[in-house]
Structure 1
Amino acid sequence: MADFPQARRTILELGSPFYDAVEAADFPQTILRFRNDRAAAEVGLADIDDDAWLRHFGRFTPLPGSLERPLALRYHGHQFRVYNPEIGDGRGFLFAQLEDGSGRLMDLGTKGSGRTPWSRSGDGRLTLKGGVREVLATEMLGALGVPTSRSFSLIETGEALERGDEPSPTRSAVLVRLNHGHIRIGTFQRLAYLRDAENMARLVDYVLVHLHGDAPGDPVRLLENVVARTARLAARYMAAGFVHGVLNSDNINVMGESFDYGPWRFTPTWDPDFVAAYFDHAGLYAFGRQPEAIHWDVMQLAVALRTLSDAEPLIAALEAFPELYQRAVTDALLWRLGVIPRGEAEDRATIQAIEPALRGEGTAIDGFFFDAFGGVIPDGHGAAFDAARAALAAYRPRGDRTHPYWSGASCSMLIDEVEAIWSAIDQHDDWAPFHAKIAGMRDMGAALA
């Protein structure tokens, strides 16, 4: 078979110290449950038929011209602020790299594809429910303007998995995700831990050139890029009402792109203390603490880059995060309100009028932004929003409400709905609510855009 024209294998420039070649699990079945043709079209893969799709993304037959064997990437990371040097790709691998239509390098990575040298006591598998949840998370976040990996493929694999935190045995799956890179903050932390300056410099150049589109050789420039990208990610999480749940440094990539979804949830109201993970007893990654958590992770990148740089310029780059975040969260909230920004001072004052009302009234986030899109807050939201109404009166809408989405009800992705979608699959093998929800989220995304 001829090479796919957009296939790449750029990761091999880094060399064997960065990964381990592995084999995919041999699954009893491969049943296609979701294929993202919209994402596939961007990397030249939309025209392959379902049989070829199952071979490549269920059996992991190599994509011609890309990687000949999957690679489990090596990294360390802080997990709930405790350093762990024993982690890496334990149930996933980098399957292929491709170039999209804009010339950007893209990765196809897996979740649930089998054991690797970093699996420890895990089975390397993914529950079907976990795969369904990740598809729902990425589709909702993409519609809400959050930079995120995209769920590319979900294939049921015919195994019965035992899990201690959910009813077992449960169905199994393998997920493939498409994103702009799997280089994590923890990838840098590992090299700092090993005091490996040579490979640290190689990694800095790889990220700057292939992922950031920048000139090589400047670790401070890399940190500046990551600070700006992650500040935007934190802001977009907040505007979406999203709680990732596990913002460890191994779960933050250097593209500022959300990925690796576990116990995520959307908060129903603007509640800073809302927590997604049942095991986050201290609320470290609560809704309102996510900007702080992401900033802390980026600090760990700065610490790792001390291998190559003096401290002062790294500190200066880090100190830009709060201001960049404030600008980004203002822009993100105005985008969701459907209005055109007016100026930094006016825009911040407007957001400062809205946030306390949202928090104090216990208003449903998705319903509020649906009702107020275009800059007019209906009277039904009460007098607490009077200051916000007055501030928004000066704004021009960036679009109108003619899209059919605005004639229906607001789209949300709260936990009860997630559980209802899963229950239909689990109890009746009914995938209709799942596919209908994806269509609804994409409809919302088109209306917001």
Structure 2
Amino acid sequence: MRAEPQPAAYRADPAILELADWLGSPVSAADFPRTLLRFRNRRWDRAIGLSELPDSRWTEHFGRFAPLPDNLPVPLALKYHGHQFRVYNPEIGDGRGFLFAQLRDGDGRLLDCGTKGSGTTPYSRGGDGRLTLKGAVREILATEMLEAQGVNTSKTLSVIETGEELWRGDEPSPTRSAVMVRLSHGHIRIGTFQRLAVLEETDHMAALIDYCLKYYPGPLPPDDAPGRGEPAVQLLHQVVERLADLAASWMVAGFVHGVLNTDNMNISGESFDYGPWRWLPRWDAAFTAAYFDAGGLYAFGRQPEALHWNCGQLAIALRTVADASPLIAALERFGPLYMAAIARRWIWRLGVTSQGAERDSALVAACEAAMREEGAAPEAFWLRHRGGRNASGPLADALSGYQPAGPEDEYWTRAEPESLLIDEVEGIWSAIDRNDDWQPLQEKITAIRRLGTALGEPPAPAGILQRN
């Protein structure tokens, strides 16, 4: 059974103030016509000591952005660059969001409260700084489903409808507006390091590396890794481990993020910033989520390549403070780490015990072949074959000798899996848009969390964030 987030007392820790003078710009939130609370994450508000906060005060803090006690005095819009579809862009940064607060959770880990749709900043590039309510609803669904599937993801903490009419070229307009707060272990991106490298701010680069190692710690590199005592090398090893596991977790979930630019890559290894995401209707490596990704750069099957490429861009940025050789050695670990993570997570989703690396890898290949032959969506496949059941042909051969990992939850006896395909997402939004009916969304969240309970705790990667 999956452990619930641990309750905690409120404990502010605005550590980012150590870097604030050069890492971001102080900004103010938009003055919205209304603040109507639509979603409050009752699993995670208690993990940061805010479960007793009345809704009226919640709205003041997460809709009007009155500072939380002893926290950031003003919001901070972070500065970064990034490769967007492999084209370098120095004209980006937090354009419709900011860092609002930092707190400790029940396990003692530092968490950030970051916004989306909170108004314009110096980095808005002519945009309105707003978020559609539909976009916020989609992010609730994405983060809930990914959390249930064991993916290291940001959490949607709050969604407040803001009473404005927004015009968007890719959806019916005018449409309703919202401001969202996400909870994550950090908002330091690969693009944050790229900006410092381009500007040749080596002192700031060193300070940012130290900050990341202090507040988002992980294990040391392997004993035989060259340069393992150097901070930049340590950081790259940790990011490579985390992003290799993240790529594997998306693949096992059948999830397509859609926009894997370097400014969307968090050094904490968390998946975040959900735009044109999709879950696979069937196993298809060429499936793309973004209508504007005509070349399929971020197609489902290319996601591991994309995250490896992004790690390479971090290595290039870190060359300003470290030699190339130990950074290259860290990058070369991505492939083996990814393959190990795929096997580890695949065995977990299938609900069987490991039979060793070679056999587990062969089982993964047999399952992929079976999914392609069946034309099945991943969730349907996992349900049908949980514990090694209902296998025939080559899949049965591959599963020979595998045993169920333990007592099964009754969830696995149901006829249909809990999934999140686009038609259902559109139906949930339609109920809200046409009738202001939020019940289908609430019922879906409950059902998704039931899936998470049935799956239990995911296998922990080597580079998971440690308590600091």
**Aligned mates of 1:350, 1:214 — CA distance in 2:** 29
Q: How does 1:134-149 map to 2 (within 5 A)?
A: 134-149=139-154
Q: 1:422 aligns with which of 429, 453, 466?
A: 429
Of residues 439, 448, 451, the one that matches 1:441 is: 448
Question: What amino acid maps onto 1:127 in structure 2?
Answer: T
Which of 386, 392, 398 is 1:391 aligned to?
398
- Once the two structures are overlaid, the 10-residue window that deviates more, 45-54 or 111-120, is 45-54
Residue in 2 aligned with 1:43? Answer: 48
Q: Which residue of 1 aligns with 2:133?
A: 128
Query: Which amino acid in the other structure matches residue 70 of structure 1?
Result: P
**Which residue of 1 is the match for residue 409 of structure 2?**
402
Q: Secondary structure at the match of 2:355?
A: coil
Change (3 A) 1:108 1:89: same
1:348 and 2:353 correspond: no
* Superposition map of 1:213-252 within 5 A: 218-252=231-265
Following superposition, the deviation at residue 365 of structure 1 comes to 1.7
For 1:200, what is the secondary structure of its paired residue?
A: helix
Matches of 1:389 and 1:118, distance apart in 2: 55
CA contact (8 A) 1:110 1:177 kept: yes
Gaps of 5+ in 2: 1-8, 221-228, 457-468
Greater shift after overlay, 325-334 or 393-402? 393-402
Q: In the alignment, is residue 305 of structure 1 matched against residue 312 of structure 2?
A: no
Secondary structure of the structure 1 residue equivalent to 2:197: helix
Q: What is the CA–CA distance in structure 1 between the aligned matches of 2:94 and 2:339, rounded to whole Å?
A: 34
**Partner amino acid for 2:252?**
A
Map residues 97-112 of structure 1 onto 2, 5 A cutoff: 97-112=102-117
* Distance (whole Å) between structure 1 residues aligned to residue 412 and residue 154 of structure 2: 24
Alpha-carbon distance, 1:408 to partner: 5.1
RMSD: 1.3
1:413 to 420, 430, 436: 420
How far residue 214 of structure 1 moved from its aligned partner, in angstroms, is 6.6
Corresponding residue for 1:265?
Answer: 278
How far residue 339 of structure 1 moved from its aligned partner, in angstroms, is 1.3
Could you tell me how far apart the structure 2 residues matched to 1:405 and 1:417 are?
Answer: 21
SS in 1 for 2:92: coil
Say whether 1:93 aligns with 2:106. no
Q: Give yes or no for contact 1:205–1:217 (8 Å, CA) kept in 2.
A: no
How many Å apart are 1:405 and its aligned residue?
6.0
| Equivalent position SS for 2:434 | helix
Q: Structure 1 residues 10, 98: CA separation in 2 closer, same or farther (over 3 Å shift)?
A: same
**1:168 pairs with 2:177:** no
Structure 2 residue 292 is the aligned partner of structure 1 residue 279: yes
Q: Pick from 348, 351, 356: which aligns with 1:338?
A: 351
The AA in structure 1 aligned to 2:284 is D
Over 4 Å off, 4+ runs: 213-217
TM-score, with length taken from structure 2: 0.92
Residues paired across the two proteins, number = 440
Which of 386, 389, 405 is equivalent to 1:373? 386
Picking from 211, 220, 242, the partner of 2:216 is 211
Q: List per-residue Cα deviations over 1:307-365 (Å, max 9, x = no partner).
A: 00110000010011001000001111111111121211111111121112212331222
Question: For residues 411-436 of structure 1, what are the alpha-carbon distances to aligned partners after superposition, in whole Å with 9 as ceiling and x for unaligned?
Answer: 00000010000011111111111100
Displacement of 1:390: 2.4
Contact in 2 for aligned 1:374/1:400 (Cα 8 Å): no
Q: Secondary structure at the match of 2:45?
A: helix
Describe the shift of the 1:111–1:406 C-alpha distance in structure 2 as closer, same or farther (beyond 3 A).
farther
Once residues 213 and 302 of structure 1 are traced to their aligned partners in structure 2, the CA distance between those partners, rounded to angstroms, is 18
CA shift digits 1:115-137 (9 cap, x unpaired): 00000110000000000000000
The separation in 1 between residues aligned to 2:263 and 2:431, in whole angstroms, is: 33
Gaps spanning 5+ residues in structure 1: where? Answer: 380-384
Cα distance between partner residues in 2 of 1:273 and 1:159: 38
CA deviation profile, 1:210-236 (whole Å, cap 9, x unmatched): 112578961001000000000000000
Q: Distance in 2 between matches of 1:205 and 1:178?
A: 22
SS of corresponding position for 2:112: strand
Matched, 1:53 2:58: yes
**What's the TM-score, normalizing by structure 1?**
0.96
How far is 1:46 from its partner? 1.2
Partner of 1:69: 74
Q: Match of 1:210, as an amino acid?
A: Y
Structure 2: how far apart are the matches of 1:239 and 1:424?
30
CA distance in 2, matches of 1:299, 1:143: 30
Q: Which deviates further from its counterpart, 169-178 or 367-376?
A: 367-376
Pairing 1:287-302 to 2, within 5 Å after superposition: 287-302=300-315
366-375 or 176-185, which deviates more: 366-375
SS of 1:72's partner is strand
Higher alpha-carbon deviation: 49-58 or 391-400: 391-400
Per-residue CA shift, 1:117-160, capped at 9, x if unaligned? 00011000000000000000000000001100000001111000
Structure-2 change in CA distance of 1:415 and 1:73 (3 Å): same
Say which SS state the counterpart of residue 8 (structure 1) adopts: coil
Give the match's secondary structure for 1:156.
strand
Going from structure 1 to structure 2, the CA distance change for 1:84 and 1:440 (only over 3 Å counts) comes to same
Q: Answer yes or no: is the 8 Å Cα contact 2:114–2:181 preserved in 1.
A: yes
For residue 45 of structure 1, report the CA deviation from its aligned partner. Answer: 1.1
Whichever residue aligns with residue 103 of structure 2, its letter is L
* Amino acid of the structure 1 residue aligned with 2:173: S
State the 1:265 CA deviation. 0.4
Query: Could you say what secondary structure the match of 1:221 adopts?
Result: helix
